């Protein structure tokens, strides 16, 4: 049998790639996708713990994370569409009205 630490390290690597994507990409939609990647890597860790400890709480938490992710994506993409309608761009370097 494979130990839990393998799943946790895979989850860590995917999370790190997601953080890197958020930091280096300039396209708002791709940044959203990287956030989805990070949420999924945490889901993998939660399911791993749930299965190796023998407790269902981890899988319940994954279910609610997915619901919140769906809500977040719909509202976030609506914001992206609204910004694109006003500024005709989704490049986050040019969307700097709230920057000090």
Which residues contact another protein (rule: CB under 8 A)? Answer: 1-10, 12-21, 23-27, 29-30, 32-34, 36-37, 40, 43-44, 47-48, 50-56, 59-60, 62-64, 66-75, 77-82, 84-85, 90-91
Burial class (CB in 10 A: 0-12, 13-18, 19+), 26: exposed
Q: Which lies closer to another protein via its Cβ, residue 69 or residue 95?
A: 69
Per DSSP, the three-state class of 27 is strand
State in angstroms the smallest separation of the CB of 35 from another protein.
11
Q: How far is the CB of 83 from another protein (least distance, A)?
A: 10
CA dist., res. 28 & res. 62, Å (int): 25
CB 12 within 8 A of CB 50: no
Q: Whole-number minimum distance, CB 18 to another protein, in Å?
A: 7
């Amino acid at each position: 049998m494979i130990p839990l630490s393998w799943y946790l390290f895979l989850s860590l690597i995917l999370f790190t790639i997601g953080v890197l994507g958020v930091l280096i990409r300039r396209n708002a939609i791709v940044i959203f996708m990287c956030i989805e990647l990070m949420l999924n890597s945490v889901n993998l860790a939660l399911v791993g713990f749930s299965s190796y400890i023998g407790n269902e709480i981890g899988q319940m938490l994954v279910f609610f994370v997915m619901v919140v992710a769906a809500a977040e994506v719909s509202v976030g993409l609506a914001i992206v569409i609204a910004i694109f309608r006003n500024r005709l761009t989704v490049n986050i370097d040019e969307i700097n009205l709230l920057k000090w």
